Amino acid sequence: MRGPLNTVCVSEHDTTHSVQNPRPKNTSRAIHYRATSTIPLRKGHDLGDKTHEERDNDVRIGMQGTTDLNPVPRKWLRFFPALMESDFRNLWLGMLPGILAMQMYLFTNGYLAFEITGEAKSIGFISLGFGVPMLAFSLMGGMAADRYSKRTILMISQTTMLIAAVIMAVLVISGIIRIWHMILVSCVMGTAFTFHMPARQSFVAELISPARLINAIGLSSAGMNACRVIGPGLAGWLISKPWMDIGGVYVLMAIMSAVVVLSLRKIVDHGTDANARDTTGAKAVMDGITYIRRNPALVVLLILSIAPIILGMPFQALMPVFAKNVFGVGPEGLGFLMMANGIGAVVGSMAVASVRRLKRPGIIQLALGVSLGLSLAVFAFCSSYHIGLVMMAIVGVISSAYLSLNATLIMDITDKRYYGRVMSIYLFTFSALPFGNMVLSVFADAFSVSITVGAGGLLLAAFVLLFGVFSPVYRSLQYGNSSQDEVLT
C-alpha cells in the first residue's frame, strides 16, 4: 500500500490500517515505508502492544535505516541489512580500526617482549598485565554500560587507549623501552578496554531497529573476531618492513584510535536509562549475575566461550616462537602465517554474519569447536612451512566462525536490559586469554611449542565434544527467533 511520504502503514495479510489508529491486539509482522523494502518486526515488538511514544520511536528508527541506502551497495543488503542504518554503520565501521589496533597491540607487545628477553614466558607476563585489570573491573564495566551514556564511555576509553599507544610509540622509537614499561601500559590499556567492550556491544541495541538486531549482532561479532585474527597477521607483516618496524606499528595504532574517536562524534548520544539509574551499582551487578545464573543456555555459552580462549587461541601469542624455532622463518614469514590466518578469519566471520537463522546452532558450534582443536593439533605437529600456511587459513576460518557464532547466540538470548552486564561477563573470555598465554608460554619453555599447542588443541576438541554430548540445553539452542526470514540449514 502506498501512502503519503510521512505515513507508515501496518499490514496483516490483506488488511491495512495506519499506526495512528492501531488495533487493540495487533499481530502485524511488517512495517512498510514508501519506496523501501519490508522491515520485519522482532517478536515482542508488535505495534499494538506499545504506547504512541514507543511506536513513534520504532517508526523513526525504521525510517532512519531505510532512507540512507547510497553508501552501501544494494546487492549486499540482502545479507547485511543492518548496514542500511546510518548510526549503526558509523559505529561498526568506526570501531573496526580500534578493534584492529587493540589486536595489533597485543601481538606487537608479545613480539617485542620476546625480542628483548628471548624467553616465551615474557609474553605471558605482558599479557597478564593486560588481563588482570579486565578480571578485576569487568563487572564494573558492564554496570557502567547499563547505567551511563555508552557513547561517553566509548569516547573516554578510546582516548585513553590512544594516549597509551602514543606512549608506547615514544618509548620504542627513543630506544628506552623496558619490560616494566610494557606491563604498566598494558594495565592502562586493559582497564580502558574493560569499560570499552561492554559499552560497545550494548550500544548496538540502542542504535539498531529491532528487526535488524540479529544481523547487527552478527556483524559486530564478525568484525570483532575477524580483527582478533587479522590484527596479529597485519602487525607481523608490518614489523617485517624496514619502513615501518615496531615503533611505526605503535604510531599506526595511535592513528587508528584517533579515527575511532572522530567517528564516535558522528553518532547521536542516546543518553542514559532512567530506570537503570534507580538502582545502586552493587545491586545492578548482582542483578546481572542472578540473571545469568537463572539462564542455563547463557551459562553454557559463556563457558564455551572461555574454552577456546584458554586452550586454543594462545597459539597466536606463540607464533613468533613457531616462526623462529619450528619453521625457521623471519618476521616476513611470520607475517605471511598470520595473514593466512586473518584471511581465513574474514571468511568465517562474514559467513556467520550473513546467516540470519539456524535450526541447530548448538550442533554447528559443537562441530566447529571440535574441528578447531583438531586443526590446531595438525598445525602444531607439522614441520612444513607451506602446510603450516594452509593450516593457518583453516584455523582462521573455524576459530572466527566459532567465536562469532558464540557471541551472536549470547546476544540473541539476552534481555536488552542486561546487555552490558552480560557482555562484561563475556569479557572474562578476553581476560582468560592473557592467563592462557601465560600458562602455555611457560609450558612452551619447559617442553616445546609444538607439544604445548598440539596438546591444547586436542584438549579443546575433547572438552567441546563432551560438553555437547552431555548438555541437552546446548544441543537444543535456537538462533534468530526474532527474525521472520527463511530458515537456513
Domain boundary among 18, 34, 67: 67
pLDDT for 112-127, tens place per residue?
888 888 777 787 788 7
Most confident of 241-250, 297-306, 362-371, 372-381: 372-381
More confident site: 272 or 381: 381
The secondary structure of 206-223 as a DSSP string is HHS-GGGHHHHHHHHHHH
Domain assignment present for 463: yes
Same domain, 131 and 280: yes
**Contact yes or no for 474/461 (Cβ under 8 A):** no
Domain boundary among 67, 97, 115: 67
Domain assignment present for 483: no
Average pLDDT of the residues of the chain: 76
pLDDT at 121: 76
Domain assignment present for 484: no
Domain assignment present for 72: no
**CATH number of domain containing 282:** 1.20.1250.20
More confident site: 222 or 48: 222
Same domain, 330 and 356: yes
**Contact yes or no for 408/480 (Cβ under 8 A):** no
Domain assignment present for 485: no
List, in order, residues 6 or more apart from 332 with CB less than 8 Å away.
237, 240
Domain assignment present for 297: yes
Indicate the number of domains in the chain: 2
Q: How far apart are the first and last CA of the chain?
A: 33
Same domain, 444 and 407: yes
SS3 for 199? helix
Same domain, 45 and 94: no
Same domain, 45 and 110: no
Domain assignment present for 270: yes
Does this model's pTM top 0.75?
no
pLDDT for 109-165, tens place per residue?
888 888 888 777 787 788 778 878 877 887 788 888 878 888 999 999 999 999 999
- Helix axis angle for 331-354 and 385-412, nearest 10°, is 30
Sheet holding 15-18, edge to edge: 15-18, 9-12, 30-32, 39-40
Same domain, 404 and 441: yes
Same domain, 194 and 238: yes
Same domain, 188 and 239: yes
Same domain, 91 and 32: no
Q: Taking the CA of residue 468 as centre, how many other CA atoms within 13 Å lie in the half-sphere pointing to its CB?
A: 20
* C-alpha triplet 96, 440, 448: angle, nearest 5°: 120
Please state, in angstroms and rounded to a whole number, the distance separating the CA atoms of residues 327 and 382.
9
Same domain, 55 and 98: no
- Helix axis angle for 281-293 and 121-147, nearest 10°, is 110
Domain assignment present for 74: no
Which domain range does residue 303 map to?
81-475
pLDDT for 217-253, tens place per residue?
778 877 776 787 678 778 888 888 888 888 999 999 9
Give the rounded percent of residues in the chain with a pLDDT score beyond 70.
77
Grid cell, residue 220, equals 559486530
Same domain, 123 and 234: yes
Domain boundary among 24, 40, 67: 67
More confident site: 312 or 31: 312
Same domain, 47 and 92: no
